[in-house]
A and B are shown apart, each in its own frame.
Chain A
Amino acid sequence: MLAVVNEDFVLRVPENLDLAATAPLLCAGITTYSPLKHWNVGSGKKVGIVGLGGLGHMAVKLAKAMGAEVIVYTTSPSKVEDAKRLGADDVVLSKDEDQMKRYAGKLHFVLDAVSAQHDINLYLNQLSVDGSLALVGAPEHPLPVAAFSLIPFRRSFAGSAIGGIAETQEMLDFCGEHNIVADIEMINIQQINEAYERLLKGDVKYRFVIDMASLKK
């Protein structure tokens, strides 16, 4: 299948990366890279990643490569092992009140990649002074925010969306240097409807990629 694109919107994929596994970088990669850079995630910083899905799993890899201490927040005990395999320094089960106290008021930055309705206040309360939470997931309905999740510690609640072309190229080059690609499950295009149903259940580790050669079948 052909795409025709304006020359200003074409990017170069580093040669050392597996091509199929770089496809998700063009959205999941840049959508997580951009806020991690903007909020200065790096060495000496404790960073929370909420939600281990297509975006969340990329955020863990990128934040780790940037040198941060990475804490993953998930509702699923079944994802704890995977979070550590992806590079997380610690994993907190968000339904466990005691575990949620471990880093409360201690994080420099939180990246929230959850697109279902959830209580954002739990994660705002993980932030330390001048900490920010950037939302990159898109829940369908507004999220209630309590004043006292923001007032103490002078916290910020922000959002972020993809990134510019220059930054996307920077992200691809960063991934080339650090050998970072997405964890993918390859499918034929004929399986796309089934893939959408599995996506709704979060049943993918962690991104479907379509082998477009299957379109010829």
Chain B
Amino acid sequence: MIEIKKINTMELTKTTAEGATIIKTKQVKAFGTEAADALLQQLNIRRRKPTPHDVEIEILYCGVCHSDLHTARNEWHGTIYPCVPGHEIVGRIVSVGRRKRRLCFTRTGKS
């Protein structure tokens, strides 16, 4: 069981069977919805600050899938709000965690 709790505006705690860790977060702009019957609009959300296992990506393009619509409108039930739908994400790597084991992506050209 993983439990995530907000301790202040900048940090969350994540508690698992192994113990508790503090996750530092930062605020970013996003586009999402606060409720099943609300339109999508600009929101501020929190992203975790990258840990050694993380890769930070600047999202350049995101595809729109019908399942995003189902999720935003809670049609499959279980949607947690605020909801930022979107999973067909491509972008540019901004930073790579210290553990960088096997990543070496380069992307030349217009993007």
Task: Let me know if A119 is at the binding interface, CB within 8 A.
Answer: no
Task: Let me know if A166 is at the binding interface, CB within 8 A.
Answer: no
Task: Let me know if A104 is at the binding interface, CB within 8 A.
Answer: no
In the complex formed, the residue of A with least CB distance to B75 is A140
* CB-based contact A4/B88 at 8 Å: no
Instruction: Contacts A4-B56, A26-B89, A193-B39 given; indicate if A19 touches B61 (C-beta within 8 A).
Output: yes
In the complex formed, the residue of A with least CB distance to B69 is A196
List A contacts of B103 (CB < 8 A): 7, 10
Stretch at the interface among A62-70, A95-103, A146-154, A203-211: A203-211
CA distance A20 to B60 in the complex (A): 8
CB distance from A65 to the nearest CB of B (A): 20
* CB-based contact A1/B59 at 8 Å: yes
Question: How many A-B residue pairs lie within 8 Å, measured between CB atoms?
Answer: 137
Count of chain B residues with a beta carbon within 8 Å of a chain A beta carbon: 50
Task: Let me know if A212 is at the binding interface, CB within 8 A.
Answer: yes
CA distance A12 to B103 in the complex (A): 9
In the complex formed, the residue of A with least CB distance to B30 is A1
* CB-based contact B64/A4 at 8 Å: no
Task: Let me know if A27 is at the binding interface, CB within 8 A.
Answer: yes
Candidates B42, B47, B60, B72; contact of A19 at CB < 8 Å: B60
CA distance A27 to B67 in the complex (A): 10
* CB-based contact B62/A209 at 8 Å: yes
* CB-based contact B90/A13 at 8 Å: yes
Task: Let me know if B109 is at the binding interface, CB within 8 A.
Answer: yes
CA distance A138 to B89 in the complex (A): 22
* CB-based contact B94/A2 at 8 Å: yes
* CB-based contact B28/A192 at 8 Å: no
Q: What are 23 A-B pairs with beta-carbon distances under 8 A?
A: A2-B47, A2-B56, A2-B59, A3-B47, A4-B48, A4-B50, A4-B54, A7-B97, A7-B100, A7-B101, A19-B90, A20-B61, A23-B88, A24-B63, A27-B67, A28-B65, A184-B63, A192-B31, A196-B40, A209-B62, A209-B88, A210-B86, A215-B29
Residues of A whose CB lies within 8 Å of any CB of B are: 1-8, 10, 12-13, 15, 19-20, 22-28, 54, 115, 138, 140, 182, 184, 187, 189, 192-193, 195-196, 199-200, 207-213, 215
